[in-house]
Chain A
Amino acid sequence: MDINRRDFVKLVGGSLFGLAIGSAADAVLKLPKSAEPVLYNGPRIESWKLTACTKCPGGCSLRIRLIDGLPVQAFGNPKSPINEGGICPLGLASVADLYHPSRLTSPVKKVNGEFKPISYDEAFKILSDNLKRIISEKKENEVFIVAQTESKLRSDLFKKFSSVSNFKNLIVDGFKETSAYPFKKVTGEVPDFIDWDKCDYLLNFGSQMTEISQNPLYFTRKINEYRAKGFRITAVQPRLTPGVSKLDDWIPLQPDQFGIFALGIAYVLLKDERYDKNFVEKNFTGFNEFKDYVLENYIPEKVEMLTGISSDKILETGRKFERASVPAAYFDASVLYNSNGTTNAAAIIALNALKSFKGFGKIKDNPFSSGVKNETKQIEGVTFASLNEKLSGYNGIQVLIIAGSNFVFNNPNAESLKKQLGSVPFIASFSSFVDETSEFAHLIIPDHSFLERLDLLTDESMGAPSATVLQPVVNKPFFKTEDTGDVIISLMKEIKPDIKLSYENYSDYVKLWAKKIYSGKEGILINQNKPTVIEQGLRKIGWSTEQIGSFDDYWDSLMDAGGWWNPFGEKVSFNPEIKFKNVFNYKSFPMISSSPQPKNKLRLNIFRRNLDYKGNMSIYQVLVEQFGNNWKVFYKLYAEINPQTARSLSLTDRSEIILKTSKGKFPVVLVFNPTVKPDSIDVPFGLGHTVLGDTSGVNPLYFAENKFDPETGLPSFTETLVEIQGAQLRSGLLSQLSISEKKQVAEN
């Protein structure tokens, strides 16, 4: 009898000691044929390899545990200055990438609506022919590239590709890149880090710093240290997220009102005349007008009216900010996910300008800053707003190239996006999976899994430049996948045959970046001990005990160490020019973004959790299960409501109800959470996939209003009004009704 592994496991069930020990033919597992003998007859030798995690912007260094050369578990690398041995749920689950049954194992082409495997050569030819045709027709402007990557090396390569081929429509859909957007827009410069050593008051606008941020695990430790030193953090956020629950100061506010609140704080500083006059005089073009405008329009009482935050609280927060010697008002990409995101971010930048950006810093000699600077200018203005515009225009896009980004799932306008994508003549994707976006592709050349690729993940958020090594932990890629970096390099050579590149392939390209570290002769490998103060001093004057050999030797040690960083480089202050007037008319700061909330409706506050980064949780069953564990509501969407609100609507805990927005209805399990804003209903993002991985639950974003930040085109997560079906008919939001209205309801 032929018996496959799945049946085998079922048959022997629990008496099997160690599931990984198998002995039957493997029909289900995604494992290359060549690995099968090892799996079944291997000596079961354990080994460890270092690499990095690519599942979020953090770029933690990982130790991968292998049995007979096959990865089984991921842990944090204790030597890494970023994560110091820590790892998050996503990182832990990530090894499953390699074996996932839905993984694409070769390039595929869509034939009659179905993906059929083809060879890489054929796939590459289809892609390059399409691009060459576009170039010959001089329609470069009708090519659009969306590349989701947190790797600076990769995003630089895409930028290079975009400039070489004159395909100027490029979005780098990365957290760091997105977070930097408002700064680039308003000041032209981006700070590298929060100066934790000096900063003595942090006003955090909406960043889930310890969960989904530029560097969640580093921030986790830093915030703990910061609090232990007695410094305060004020979190301005719509939700009491885990990271906020220990803070003394939480100001519940919807993100679309962040700007108003920030200017309310600015009012306090301006009124009290406790801002850095020297700085604004030199660096803030049009400061006086700005000042008059704020003093006229953002009086705390008025801000209270608009935001519901008491004027006392505004004054108190303003005073904390002005009295701190090094305050920082922090935000990141999350601030942009609402209908006036960039404007709000600009207001927060203005607030920082009043205190001369003291809480932030720059790295003086960052070996990774050069990149392709000159070539990037032209494309920095391209955002999802341009993509939406192009997609909705007639014949706007001829060729769409998508690398990794699942923007359909991350979009309330998914239905029309799908239609629009359906009419794009040619879509090529580099996704490893068929997801809600890549399902519209005509061609997919799947990228290697992160455990099969080489890269350097650079970072500045520690106030020290660092590069964590991402390297293959398996001998060779499991399947016929192709490093997207290699595809891009081959494309450049193919469409511009006379181009001179200093690298042949992606691994050469990565080495070029590593050479910058090597020739800079600064910093240390992460497995080396931090030098003493004396040694640091000696290093500064060029003295070093280390013998630095050839680059090849250095490269090997870099790979063995798992990374490099330079903790003793010089830091400088962040001193940008604020040219508000040219870029933004601050008078466009909205007084209020949305119309007042009707009494019988709640705000649908869609929130992100650290189990999901940009809609990728569904491929990890272990996380999908864990997603439901807090409330023990598994594989279903839950909605958190303040018990007071619920009672006023006669709703009970754990009841299954229907939420209704202007887009339609969806079921949720109601759970009582007294920390939820009484006028909101909080729903987590992450479930509700249709093709990628686990498909249970609902994606609440699909029911959200089509509201976008006009600058970046990023969707709003928190500006949809929702009714609870049946509930509002009974009583309306009693607590918010006037006495006479209540009487009326009672009479009815």
Chain B
Amino acid sequence: MPRYGMIIDLNKCNQCEACITACKLENNVQIVSKENADMGRAMFWMNMLTISYTRNYPDIRSESLPMLCMQCDEPPCIKVCPVRATYKRDDGIVAQIYPQCIGCRYCMANCPYTVKVFNWFKDEQPVENEKTCNPDVSVRPKGVVEKCTFCIHRLQKAKEQAKAEHRKLREEDYVPACAEVCAAQAIHFGDLDDPNSNVSKAMHDYRKFTLQEELGTKPKVYYLSAKTE
């Protein structure tokens, strides 16, 4: 059984934010109304987070990183769900069963990375976005929690395709949208347990770190720190 994970090379990422747009469109994440956005209810599964500033002006530099669900191996979010609407799959992906979610938002509160978002309302979508929404991904009803799924629907499709072609799933068959679109080729994705996968190879880099390691959540999203010149 594979164990899917991601490595984002911050030395390559130039904060173009294409991963954010791609994620939003791929997963039909709703565009909330202006009023709701103002109330802090905008929904992004992928964000650009500035984590620190180093040195002083004018030598100051900012460190930002694309931030998504860490797909924790020890996910604190699933432990608190009273109805088991969120669980960890065998392949390591932390999934959400929308029809089962009762909207208590415990998981949101228990996620140390604050990456889960809640559908407060079903806002009307811009018509042009309705037309360009991805038919592979269900839209979520009001009152449920959602988050990055590593584009799990792409895995499903890739598996079916491989099956139809009587072959095994290849590494390149399944890539989440953010990793696919990244022009800097900063996002590696694949099976962490396969020593030959790109993502495993990138794991040997000395620059590797995870966010809030001390919490013991064991994120499967790793970062490679930016090299300072």
Query: Which residues does A use to contact B, with CB under 8 Å?
Result: 5-6, 9-10, 13-21, 28-31, 44, 67, 70-73, 75-76, 83-89, 91-93, 95-96, 98-101, 210-211, 216-217, 220-221, 223-224, 227, 232, 240, 242-243, 245-252, 610-611, 621-623, 625-626, 628-630, 632, 634-635, 642, 674-675, 677-678, 696
Q: How far is the CA of A29 from the CA of B125 in the complex (A)?
A: 12
Q: Which residues of B contact A621 (CB under 8 A)?
A: 31, 126, 128-129
Partner of A610, one of B16, B22, B38: B16
Partner of A73, one of B62, B130, B134, B138: B134
Q: Are B31 and A622 in contact (CB under 8 A)?
A: yes
CB distance from B36 to the nearest CB of A (A): 9
Partner of B181, one of A92, A210, A224: A92
Q: Which residues of B contact A675 (CB under 8 A)?
A: 53, 57, 60-62
Instruction: Supply 11 A–B pairs (Cβ within 8 Å), ascending by A.
Output: A14-B98, A14-B142, A19-B130, A73-B25, A88-B18, A89-B18, A92-B25, A246-B11, A625-B31, A626-B21, A696-B34
Q: For the complex, is B200 an interface residue (Cβ under 8 Å from A)?
A: no
Q: For the complex, is B122 an interface residue (Cβ under 8 Å from A)?
A: yes
Residue on A nearest B184 in the bound complex, by CB: A220
The digit string for B166-210, where 1 denotes a CB below 8 A from any CB of A, is 000000000000001111110000000000000000000000000
Q: For the complex, is B28 an interface residue (Cβ under 8 Å from A)?
A: yes
Q: Which residues of A contact B211 (CB under 8 A)?
A: none
Q: How far is the CA of A623 from the CA of B18 in the complex (A)?
A: 10
Q: Which residues of A contact B98 (CB under 8 A)?
A: 14
CB distance from B205 to the nearest CB of A (A): 13
Q: Which residues of B contact A20 (CB under 8 A)?
A: 130-131, 133-135
Q: For the complex, is B48 an interface residue (Cβ under 8 Å from A)?
A: yes
Q: Which residues of B contact A70 (CB under 8 A)?
A: 131
Q: How far is the CA of A632 from the CA of B114 in the complex (A)?
A: 14
Q: Which residues of A contact B60 (CB under 8 A)?
A: 240, 674-675
Residues of B14-41 at the interface with A, using a CB-CB cut-off of 8 Å, are: 14-18, 20-22, 24-26, 28, 31-32, 34, 37-38, 40
Q: Are B137 and A10 in contact (CB under 8 A)?
A: no
A-B contacts at CB below 8 angstroms, number? 216
Q: Are A628 and B53 in contact (CB under 8 A)?
A: no
Q: Are A14 and B34 in contact (CB under 8 A)?
A: no
Q: Are B57 and A642 in contact (CB under 8 A)?
A: yes
Q: Which residues of A contact B57 (CB under 8 A)?
A: 642, 674-675, 677-678
Count of residues in B whose CB is under 8 Å from the partner chain: 66
Partner of B58, one of A13, A250, A625: A250
Partner of B185, one of A84, A93, A249, A251: A84
List of 4 A-B pairs having minimum Cβ-Cβ separation, nearest first? A14-B141, A86-B183, A242-B15, A248-B229
Q: How far is the CA of A354 from the CA of B150 in the complex (A)?
A: 52
CB distance from B169 to the nearest CB of A (A): 19
Q: Are A93 and B25 in contact (CB under 8 A)?
A: yes
Q: Are A19 and B133 in contact (CB under 8 A)?
A: yes
CB distance from A223 to the nearest CB of B (A): 8
Q: For the complex, is B136 an interface residue (Cβ under 8 Å from A)?
A: yes
Q: Are A623 and B62 in contact (CB under 8 A)?
A: no
Residue on A nearest B180 in the bound complex, by CB: A75
Provided the pairs A76-B181, A635-B38, A675-B60 are in contact, do residues A96 and B130 lie with their beta carbons within 8 angstroms?
Answer: no
Partner of B16, one of A29, A89, A223: A89
Q: Which residues of B contact A5 (CB under 8 A)?
A: 130
Q: Are B180 and A6 in contact (CB under 8 A)?
A: no
Q: How far is the CA of A696 from the CA of B135 in the complex (A)?
A: 30
Query: Which residues does B use to contact A, with CB under 8 Å?
Result: 11-12, 14-18, 20-22, 24-26, 28, 31-32, 34, 37-38, 40, 42, 44, 47-48, 50, 53, 57-58, 60-64, 98, 119, 122, 124-142, 144, 180-185, 226-229
Q: Are A629 and B47 in contact (CB under 8 A)?
A: yes
Q: Are A246 and B14 in contact (CB under 8 A)?
A: yes
Query: Which has the most chain A C-beta neighbours within 10 Å: B26, B32, B127, B137?
Result: B127
Q: Are A245 and B16 in contact (CB under 8 A)?
A: no
14 extra A-B contacts, CB within 8 A, seeds A220-B184, A250-B58? A13-B122, A14-B142, A14-B144, A18-B138, A29-B127, A72-B135, A86-B183, A92-B18, A93-B25, A221-B185, A245-B61, A611-B17, A629-B20, A675-B53
Q: How far is the CA of A571 from the CA of B22 in the complex (A)?
A: 37
Q: Are B16 and A623 in contact (CB under 8 A)?
A: no
Q: How far is the CA of A242 from the CA of B13 in the complex (A)?
A: 9
Q: How far is the CA of A232 from the CA of B135 in the complex (A)?
A: 46
Q: Which residues of A contact B144 (CB under 8 A)?
A: 14
Q: Which residues of A contact B34 (CB under 8 A)?
A: 634-635, 696
CB distance from A641 to the nearest CB of B (A): 12
Q: Are A248 and B228 in contact (CB under 8 A)?
A: yes
Provided the pairs A17-B138, A210-B16, A224-B184 are in contact, do residues A246 and B130 lie with their beta carbons within 8 angstroms?
Answer: no
Q: Are B21 and A93 in contact (CB under 8 A)?
A: yes
Q: How far is the CA of A221 from the CA of B37 in the complex (A)?
A: 34
Provided the pairs A634-B37, A674-B57 are in contact, do residues A227 and B229 lie with their beta carbons within 8 angstroms?
Answer: yes
Q: How far is the CA of A101 from the CA of B127 in the complex (A)?
A: 7
CB distance from A245 to the nearest CB of B (A): 5
CB distance from A349 to the nearest CB of B (A): 26
CB distance from A4 to the nearest CB of B (A): 11
CB distance from A27 to the nearest CB of B (A): 10
CB distance from A357 to the nearest CB of B (A): 26
CB distance from A105 to the nearest CB of B (A): 14
CB distance from A100 to the nearest CB of B (A): 5
Partner of B26, one of A17, A73, A83, A630: A73
Provided the pairs A20-B135, A630-B48 are in contact, do residues A220 and B37 lie with their beta carbons within 8 angstroms?
Answer: no
Partner of B131, one of A29, A210, A632, A696: A29
